[in-house]
Amino acid sequence: ETGVTQTPRHLVMGMTNKKSLKCEQHLGHNAMYWYKQSAKKPLELMFVYSLEERVENNSVPSRFSPECPNSSHLFLHLHTLQPEDSALYLCASSQETGTGNEKLFFGSGTQLSVL
């Protein structure tokens, strides 16, 4: 148990569907992250929130929409995805962001398949 919980673990959706990924952290951290992990590729940072404010958006297509209602919860809303969006989506948290020794605590991820 890393203290970061993601649901669902697996998701299959069509290109016209709308779905949401959920992440919850029980560590009292101030920063939360969404990463995309594709096979044999480096982790891609998608979004960073610090104290519920978005501090980073790495040119992610608008079909991905993050939401951070409080410092413990993070959502990723998905709509009209493409097959190339199929990947493992990882949520992470850290005590702070932008300070250096920021150990990340990851959830187990949502394996997304877009048909």
Distances, alpha carbon 20 to alpha carbons 1, 17, 78, 94, in Å = 23, 10, 6, 22
Residues linked to residue 64 through DSSP beta bridges, in sequence order: 78
Contact call for residue 101 and another protein (CB under 8 A) = yes
> Of 85 and 97, which CB lies nearer to another protein in the complex structure?
97
Residues 35-54 that bind another protein (CB under 8 A): 40-43, 45
* Assigned token pair, 103: 């150990």
103 binds another protein (CB under 8 A): yes
Q: How far is residue 79's CA from residue 73's CA, in Å, rounded to a whole number?
A: 20
Give the one residue of 21, 68, 87, 90 binding another protein; rule: CB under 8 A: 90
> Residues interacting with another protein, by CB under 8 A?
2, 4, 40-43, 45, 90, 97-109
